[in-house]
Structure 1
Amino acid sequence: MLTYSQKKYLFAIYKLGQSGNIVKSADVAKIVGVSKASTVTMTQKLCENGYIIKEPYGKISLTETGIKEANSIFMKCIVIREFLHTQIGMDEKTADNDAVSIVANISEKGADKITDYILAR
């Protein structure tokens, strides 16, 4: 099971990679809001656990397992963000940040239940 921090990093790598750009540690650090040194430490852990591939001083890419996990996180964030924005009336930026925090902080089962509930409405 991924930790809160690991989920945030995977989500950041996933979002950065969607635009087709090369994902680098400095870019991930900026999105997550941490130092480059912290990013290096976390990317090493994600590499060891099979979620990403990191070339020395180079690009970061998701493995098949990383893509699956990041996509799951991303889809849950989209559902929750849209609910917070359209149904609760939050501004988009706050809804986006809160959706990521919700998905990253609760269990996978909890996030699944929340998204299932929202989608069933």
Structure 2
Amino acid sequence: MLTKSQKKYLFAIYLLGQDGGSVKSTSVSDFLNVSKASTVKMTQKLIEEQYIIKEPYREIRLTQKGIREANKLFTPSVILQNFLIATVGVPSDKAREASVIIASELDEETLDKLVKYSLSLAK
């Protein structure tokens, strides 16, 4: 099972890599607003657990296992992002950042309930 921190990094890699598939470590650091050292450390953990692939001096790519886990966070994140923008009035850039944090931090049951609540208000 992924830790909250691992979810956050995995999801960031997923979001950043949607266009071309691979991502620079510095892009992950910038996106999450963390140090490069933190990104290197977490990258090693995600490699060990086979969620990502990164050869020395190369970009990061998700494995199939990593894609499956990141997909679990994607839909709830999009729903929450839309909720934050439309219902709460949060600017889109802040809503995106907040939705990544929320989707990564909450346990699956709580996240599911929050998503259902968000959807019920949208009707």
The separation in 1 between residues aligned to 2:87 and 2:115, in whole angstroms, is: 14
Alignment of 1:63-82 (within 5 A): 63-82=63-82
**Residue in structure 2 matched with residue 12 of structure 1 by the alignment:** 12
Alignment of 1:8-47 (within 5 A): 8-20=8-20, 22-47=22-47
Post-superposition Cα deviations, 1:2-25, rounded to whole Å, max 9, x if no partner, equal 222211111111111111163121
The separation in 2 between residues aligned to 1:90 and 1:43, in whole angstroms, is: 31
The separation in 1 between residues aligned to 2:29 and 2:41, in whole angstroms, is: 11
**One-letter identity of the residue aligned with 2:39:** T
Unpaired runs of 5+ residues, structure 1, are none
Q: Pairwise CA RMSD of aligned residues?
A: 1.5
**One-letter identity of the residue aligned with 1:40:** V
The separation in 2 between residues aligned to 1:101 and 1:77, in whole angstroms, is: 9
Q: Is the 8 A contact 2:21 2:61 kept in 1?
A: no
Post-superposition Cα deviations, 1:31-75, rounded to whole Å, max 9, x if no partner, equal 111222211110110111121111111121111111011112121
The separation in 2 between residues aligned to 1:89 and 1:28, in whole angstroms, is: 27
**Residue in structure 2 matched with residue 94 of structure 1 by the alignment:** 94
Please state how far the C-alpha of 1:116 moved relative to its aligned partner: 2.6
The separation in 2 between residues aligned to 1:117 and 1:24, in whole angstroms, is: 36
Post-superposition Cα deviations, 1:68-99, rounded to whole Å, max 9, x if no partner, equal 11112121110001011112222112222221
Distance 1:4 1:96, change over 3 A: same
Please state how far the C-alpha of 1:117 moved relative to its aligned partner: 3.0
The separation in 2 between residues aligned to 1:85 and 1:29, in whole angstroms, is: 25
The total of aligned residue pairs comes to 121
Higher relative contact order, structure no. (Cα contacts within 8 Å, ≥ 6 residues apart): 2
**Residue in structure 1 matched with residue 117 of structure 2 by the alignment:** 117
The separation in 1 between residues aligned to 2:104 and 2:9, in whole angstroms, is: 10
**One-letter identity of the residue aligned with 1:58:** R
Q: TM (normalized to structure 1)?
A: 0.89
**One-letter identity of the residue aligned with 1:79:** I
Identity of aligned residues (%): 50
